[in-house]
Amino acid sequence: MRDINQFTITEAVKKTFKTEPGSRFEQLLRGFIDHLHDYTRENNVTHAEWMGILNFLYDCGQISTPERHEFILLSDVIGFSALVDMINTKGGATEGSNLGPFYLDNAPRMKLGGNLSDGREGVSVLVHGRVTDSLHNPLPGAIVDTWQADASGTYPIQEQEQGQDKYDLRGVFEADEQGRYYYTTVLPKPYTVPYDGPVGRLLRAGNRHAWRAAHLHYIVRAPGMSSITTEIFFDNTEYLDNDAVFGVRKSLIAKLGPASKVDELGYSLERKPDAVCKFDFVLAPEG
Amino acid sequence: MRDINQFTITEAVKKTFKTEPGSRFEQLLRGFIDHLHDYTRENNVTHAEWMGILNFLYDCGQISTPERHEFILLSDVIGFSALVDMINTKGGATEGSNLGPFYLDNAPRMKLGGNLSDGREGVSVLVHGRVTDSLHNPLPGAIVDTWQADASGTYPIQEQEQGQDKYDLRGVFEADEQGRYYYTTVLPKPYTVPYDGPVGRLLRAGNRHAWRAAHLHYIVRAPGMSSITTEIFFDNTEYLDNDAVFGVRKSLIAKLGPASKVDELGYSLERKPDAVCKFDFVLAPEG
């Protein structure tokens, strides 16, 4: 290896890793080394630039905590997260979108028709729809796990120090015999991703804003089906075409309309809504 | 941007960064996004793998301190550092090699013929040579800044808590009128890079060792010339062909011989050496 040069080093480095031949780990590692080295050669990366890249990662590490994963945020703003969501969306199923940093896996179980937003200000909205397979067969008992920001664009988990309950604006619903889910909540507002760290510096250096389009988060599961992680957006709202983390897809934009005909739906609702938003989730079989 | 898919997202992400057209920052950022997205598509990265990559970076951040830069170590073991050294070596000049994590920019000035290793155990070696331009013209007054491990493979800066002086085994020499530098020191031994963190996990997963071939570190400068950062290795020593950070180059391996003819060199030396190591540094003009 004393004979390596800038063209032979890549194969030499890959060979030092004695991974299981043909394994997924080997494939991912080799592909990464190939791309990193190609990038370095193509751009003639200088020592100062190399140090700049490594110090940027160092800074991302320094600001990260169990509650703030700056590397996920970085992945989000450069479209890595969205691309992984796209690649892993199954044919016929609802498109995937960002999990984001605020998911809690033990949100309270709620009854259909319940209200997520007790006492909060904002527009009261009925969110409803069906969970089906790709042939429109209902999936009774499907689990709809949702979480969201409030009408000022804040997640209660972000304001625990101000006395908020982190489980507020979260709920786990079970679809009925027709595969239906329905509940009322407050309409969320757009908000900014954290921009006080290195990722914020990157956004400013690229003259980019940090705003996300308003959205509701979902994980939807049913036995035998691949679960999906996605978001619902609202038509005619801000940032649909320049969401900071590339989460919006046309198929994930729901129509938001007045609640004038809500009685016809026949739901038993805890709170009277001002608006209605309908979205159907489609799950594909597992495997 | 609501119409993006896994093929169009890459251009969409690049366009959101409104960088100065044609700037270096734009080039580096776009190239990075291209490679990251291509990697993701080529390998169909799953959510679990995506999370694994980001958590690996998170862990690198958590173990990093001002004294330990795990991202530099990562760069070292995947040949990124070595490749940058190779790309930035100027034609005709001594090849560059790893700076490593232990450089201090204010090491003590020492007289030619001085001894770096007062009282330390090990083989006493005379290190000498000339600093010239690529036409063999001496560069009088060139600065030779060196640092190294001891005969047990440890840098004194790593053992400050055990009472060691971090400036030990470091020295800054000024070449004489003939461009000559010469001093005695103790022969360093191989050592391992830190492997108690995520980079160590990566090495173990790839069945790799963490050993570096024994070496002396140098930064050499002279007015009007490009300074070089490099390492000298010793022939017939361990790990020359599997140095953990890919630092060894054939041209950087110095012959190590007995000191039987040391008097003929005419140096005034503080300590009598057992062995002699000769290495000439060649600097290229700036720019």
Closest Cα in chain A, distance from residue B54 (Å):
6
Which pLDDT value is given to residue B111? 97
Which pLDDT value is given to residue B268? 96
Which pLDDT value is given to residue B1? 79
Cβ–Cβ contacts within 10 Å for residue B23, how many?
Answer: 10
- Determine the Cα–Cα distance for residues B287 and B283; give it in Å rounded to an integer: 12
Is the confidence at residue B118, as pLDDT, over 80?
A: no
Question: B206-254 pLDDT, tens per residue?
Answer: 999 999 999 999 999 999 999 999 999 999 999 999 999 999 999 999 9
Chain B residues within 8 A of A36 when measuring between CB atoms: 35, 78, 80
Compute the mean pLDDT over every residue in chain A, rounded to the nearest whole number: 96
Here the ipTM equals: 0.94
Which pLDDT value is given to residue A287? 80
- Determine the Cα–Cα distance for residues A95 and B190; give it in Å rounded to an integer: 53
Which pLDDT value is given to residue A2? 87
Which pLDDT value is given to residue B188? 96
Chain A residues within 8 A of B84 when measuring between CB atoms: 40, 45-47, 50
Which pLDDT value is given to residue A67? 81
Fold of A80-283: Protocatechuate 3,4-Dioxygenase, subunit A (2.60.130)
Q: What SS3 class is residue B28? A: helix
Region B19-40 average pLDDT? 98
Question: A179-230 pLDDT, tens per residue?
Answer: 999 999 999 999 999 999 999 999 999 999 999 999 999 999 999 999 999 9
Which of B24, B34, B53, B57 best tests the A interface by mutation, with the highest count of A CBs <10 A? B57
- B residues 48-77 closer than 8 Å to A (CB): 49-50, 54-55, 57-58, 60-62, 64, 69-72, 75
Domain definitions of chain B by residue range: 9-77, 92-283
- B residues 85-104 closer than 8 Å to A (CB): 85-88
Question: B41-59 pLDDT, tens per residue?
Answer: 999 999 999 999 999 999 9
Question: A95-115 pLDDT, tens per residue?
Answer: 999 998 889 989 999 999 999
Which pLDDT value is given to residue A82? 98
Residues in chain B, how many? 287
Cβ contact, residue pair B6, A87, below 8 Å: yes
Cβ contact, residue pair A78, B33, below 8 Å: yes
Which pLDDT value is given to residue B28? 98
Q: Give the rounded percent of residues in chain B with a pLDDT score beyond 70.
A: 100
Region A140-149 average pLDDT? 97
Residues in chain A, how many? 287
**Residue whose token pair is 């160092």:** A58
- A residues 209-238 closer than 8 Å to B (CB): 229
- Determine the Cα–Cα distance for residues A121 and B125; give it in Å rounded to an integer: 78
**pLDDT band for position B66 (50/70/90)?**
confident
Which of A27, A30, A39 best tests the B interface by mutation, with the highest count of B CBs <10 A? A39
Residue B243 near chain A (CB below 8 Å): yes
Is the confidence at residue A118, as pLDDT, over 90?
A: no
Listed in sequence order, the DSSP H helices in A64-127 are 70-77, 80-87
Which pLDDT value is given to residue B67? 81
- Determine the Cα–Cα distance for residues A157 and A167; give it in Å rounded to an integer: 7
Q: Where are the beta strands (DSSP E) in B140-222?
A: 143-148, 170-174, 180-186, 191-192, 211-212, 215-221
Which of B14, B30, B49, B50 best tests the A interface by mutation, with the highest count of A CBs <10 A? B50
Question: B139-171 pLDDT, tens per residue?
Answer: 999 999 999 999 999 999 888 888 888 999 999
**pLDDT band for position B119 (50/70/90)?**
confident
Q: Is A97 left (phi over 0), alpha (psi -120 to 50) or beta?
A: beta
Which pLDDT value is given to residue B101? 85
Cβ–Cβ contacts within 10 Å for residue A142, how many?
Answer: 25
Residue B25 near chain A (CB below 8 Å): yes
Cβ contact, residue pair B78, A4, below 8 Å: no
| Angle, helix A80-87 to helix B24-43, in steps of 10 degrees | 20
* Token pair recorded at residue B52: 């694994």
Contact A6, B86 (CB under 8 A): yes
- Specify the CATH number for B92-283; select among 3.20.20.60, 1.10.1070.20, 1.10.3470.10, 2.60.130.10: 2.60.130.10
Quote the pTM value: 0.93
Closest Cα in chain B, distance from residue A89 (Å):
10
By mean pLDDT, which of A119-123, A189-193, B181-185, B228-232 is the weakest? A119-123
